[in-house]
Structure 1
Amino acid sequence: MTTTTTNHSAKSILLLALLLVPHLAAASSGDALISQRRRLLDYHGGGGGHGGGDVYVDPSYTFPNARLRDAYVAMQAWKRAVLSDPHNVTGTWIGPDVCAYEGVFCAAARDDPHLVVVASVDLNHADMAGHLPDELGLLADLAVLHANSNRFCGAVPSTLERLHLLHELDLSNNRLVGAFPDVVLRLPSLRYLDLRFNDFEGPVPAELFDRPLDAIFLNSNRLRFRIPDNVGNSPASVLVLANNDFGGCLPASVANMSGTLDEIILMNTGLKSCIPPELGMLTGLAVLDVSHNSLMGAIPGELARLENIEQLDLGHNRLTGDVPEGICHLPHLQNFTYSYNFITGEPPVCMHVKAFDDRRNCIPGRPDQRPAEQCQFQNTHHAPEKYN
């Protein structure tokens, strides 16, 4: 039964039977179908994604519980929304045994260990094309949703806000568009957010940094309009904002992340002005990358307090003055890059760092430095952009 007319006829017969035969109204399959249809009507009445239309459930199918029936509807709606599936992942999405579908993982429900539910969907590197349907919000027990390295386009459906148990959301490396998907701000259990390599645009909402996220990956989108001043409120251990166009300064509040932050990547984000000395308070930091920006002034001596730093990249900016000697004495420093700046002096100890790069500066006696005419700019604000 595949046509719309046949589908509606089958459903009409079932609903008529429920009305005419009272004892059938108590049947679990009938109740589940009615409940399911009500939920779907709610979905199609609102939300920011694309509905998959009513999903026909064969009356002969039986499900261990109503949640697996919902999961069946969600996965069939997603199957409908897929336009290209070169690895034939959805070829296994047949029949009522949702737990046997490729990419779907089931486990005991958190609130009832006797119920089996869909706990995880992992479609990483499936290279599917299509969109994300509203019915994904029916996967109410989902803790992990991974769909990176596909070709999903369109918006992130607002119905995902129903995934109250979602702990990890990875939609990276797709073709998703629109404003920052603020539905992620309404996921109370979310700790890992990866939206990199998409086409989200506009500002990052300040509320994001008030959420209890451990990892935030937003790099390689089209986000703009400055990094919010409250970025330091975030308890994240990893913050990656690279390859966007925020501009402005790095808020000094980032120093408030000293108790949690391990890595911060701000490469090519349009940052201007100086490196805030407050960065030196991030004593647990292992990786700091502010390269490929327009940062000016001296390298702050406070960076010598980064006692756990391993990778420090200040390259491709407009920094001037001498490299603070204390930085090169840091015990864990393995890679120190300050190439393509206007640095005029470096202590000899810096050359003993396992991997350091001082090319294209203005350091007397060092090889591969800038020509004299480029080093004449006392104020690097006036240096041509091509010198970065």
Structure 2
Amino acid sequence: MMSRLKQSSSSPCFRCLLLIMFLFSCSKTNCARKVATTAPSEVRALNSIFQKWDTQAPKSNLWNTTGDPCSGLALSQLDSVFEDGDNNPAIRCDCTFDNNTVCHITRLRVYALNKVGQIPEELLDLPYLEFLKIDQNFFSGPLPSFIGKMSKLGLLSIAHNAFSGPIPKELGNLKELYLLSFGSNDFSGTLPPELGNLHKLQELYIDSCGLGGEIPETFANLENLETVWASDVAFTGKIPDFIGNNWTKLMSLRFEGNSFEGLIPSSFANLTSLTSLRIGGIYDGSSSSLDFIRNLKNLTDLVLRNVLLTGVFPSHITELQSLQKLDLSFNSLAGQVPSALFNMRNLENLFLGNNSLSGAFPMQKGEKLQTM
């Protein structure tokens, strides 16, 4: 039986069959890529953008702009390849258009390369762009309203630059956005109510962005939010009650260094998916209770620092067995701290200073508790 198999595998017909199978496979995958070329208008646009930003494709020839940019690693669909530090700046292409003959640029990343300049209008000539990440550079000027025409964008990340002026209301037209990041810039004004139209938004990073004012009521529509980092933003008014009622998918919320007043809404008890909650610096208004945390069993990180907490230290906090960090300092909590708190199995950092607590430290503490 084995001898027959060896004979058949060495026969001319068998080798022909292998060749036909290879050619068929090639025509379906790699060979199609070889004949596909980047849309000429996108080649011109990319070259113009890179010229204005004084940048070029990586010197290691991972892909190129002198010929067809949709080449080399630009054809890889792996995020690990696109985000690789040596592949920077980076693009990603999709070459499945027009029967696998046309490539369109779908991703652009120019990350932490100390580049200067503004956002050029040539970006509109990349109509299939889904991902734009230009963080940690020195880009400046306004965020242009024409970005609202880039309808396929799912990710827009421009944090850690020197952009200024207002946030254009046209960003509300980007209905495919799932991530928006513009923190650590010099913007002015308030959040446009139109951003409440971004129903697919899951992640919002706007720390230290320069904005202020109240959070628009339209943000109640952002029911798919999972992460909101908005520390060091001069937000005024009360923390909106709709956060607890509408943002029920939240896993991480940061409001530290704002200008909120009033209490922490009791509706936060509905945020049972939260793993991290950080609120710091509420100076005016009614005092807040810790009752709302009773149901937040998934918390690993709870920081409520200087937020006008009052009442007796709650014993039910020891039921949050996933806690790794607890900071309730600079409040008006009173009473004894339950000894079980010091023996929680995952707690590593505990900050309770500047309260009116009483009692003694327990004789033993948990092995992981390193900072008190």
Q: TM-score, normalised by structure 1?
A: 0.71
The 1:361–1:237 alpha-carbon spacing in structure 2 relative to 1, beyond 3 Å, is: same
The yes-or-no answer on 1:77 pairing with 2:64 is no
SS of the residue aligned with 1:222?
A: coil
Distance (Å, rounded) in 2 between the aligned partners of 1:291 and 1:236: 21
Q: Which of 234, 237, 257 is matched with 1:268 structurally? A: 257
Do the aligned residues in 1 keep the contact of 2:244 with 2:265 (CA within 8 Å)? no
Q: Identity of paired residues, percent?
A: 22
Output the aligned Cα RMSD.
2.8
Q: For 1:338-357, what aligned pairs fall within 5 Å after superposition?
A: 338-348=328-338, 349-353=340-344, 354=347, 355-357=349-351
The yes-or-no answer on 1:220 pairing with 2:191 is no
The 1:110–1:83 alpha-carbon spacing in structure 2 relative to 1, beyond 3 Å, is: closer
Runs of 4+ in 1 over 6 A off after TM superposition: none
Q: Which residue of 2 aligns with 1:164?
A: 151
The yes-or-no answer on 1:134 pairing with 2:121 is yes
Query: Could you tell me which amino acid in structure 2 is paired with residue 345 of structure 1?
Result: G
Distance (Å, rounded) in 2 between the aligned partners of 1:209 and 1:308: 27
Distance (Å, rounded) in 2 between the aligned partners of 1:292 and 1:84: 42
Q: Which residue of 1 aligns with 2:30?
A: none
The 1:273–1:103 alpha-carbon spacing in structure 2 relative to 1, beyond 3 Å, is: same
Distance (Å, rounded) in 2 between the aligned partners of 1:88 and 1:127: 17
Do the aligned residues in 2 keep the contact of 1:71 with 1:98 (CA within 8 Å)? no
Q: Which residue of 1 aligns with 2:299?
A: 309
Q: Which residue of 1 aligns with 2:226?
A: 237
User: How far did 1:112 drift?
Assistant: 6.1
Distance (Å, rounded) in 2 between the aligned partners of 1:110 and 1:193: 28
SS of the residue aligned with 2:309?
A: strand
Deviates most, 106-115 or 295-304: 106-115
SS of the residue aligned with 1:312?
A: strand
User: How far did 1:175 drift?
Assistant: 0.7
User: How far did 1:366 drift?
Assistant: 6.4
How big is each residue's C-alpha offset from its partner over 1:248-278, in whole Å with a ceiling of 9 and x where there is no partner? 1111111223541111111111111111111
Do the aligned residues in 1 keep the contact of 2:336 with 2:358 (CA within 8 Å)? no
Q: Which residue of 1 aligns with 2:175?
A: 188
Distance (Å, rounded) in 2 between the aligned partners of 1:129 and 1:72: 21
Query: Could you tell me which amino acid in structure 1 is paired with residue 206 of structure 2?
Result: L
Aligned residues: 303
Q: Which of 297, 300, 307 is matched with 2:287 structurally? A: 297
Do the aligned residues in 2 keep the contact of 1:323 with 1:343 (CA within 8 Å)? yes
Q: For 1:48-59, what aligned pairs fall within 5 Å after superposition?
A: none
The yes-or-no answer on 1:205 pairing with 2:192 is yes
Distance (Å, rounded) in 2 between the aligned partners of 1:236 and 1:113: 36
Do the aligned residues in 2 keep the contact of 1:299 with 1:324 (CA within 8 Å)? no
The yes-or-no answer on 1:329 pairing with 2:319 is yes
Q: TM-score, normalised by structure 2?
A: 0.74
How big is each residue's C-alpha offset from its partner over 1:325-380, in whole Å with a ceiling of 9 and x where there is no partner? 2223123222111112222234313333413210122223469xxxxxxxxxxxxx
5+ unaligned residues in a row in structure 1: which ranges?
1-62, 368-388
The yes-or-no answer on 1:363 pairing with 2:357 is yes
SS of the residue aligned with 1:303?
A: helix
User: How far did 1:110 drift?
Assistant: 6.5
The yes-or-no answer on 1:256 pairing with 2:239 is no
Q: Which residue of 2 aligns with 1:115?
A: 102
Deviates most, 96-105 or 153-162: 96-105
Do the aligned residues in 1 keep the contact of 2:115 with 2:137 (CA within 8 Å)? yes
Query: Could you tell me which amino acid in structure 1 is paired with residue 341 of structure 2?
Result: C
SS of the residue aligned with 1:176?
A: strand
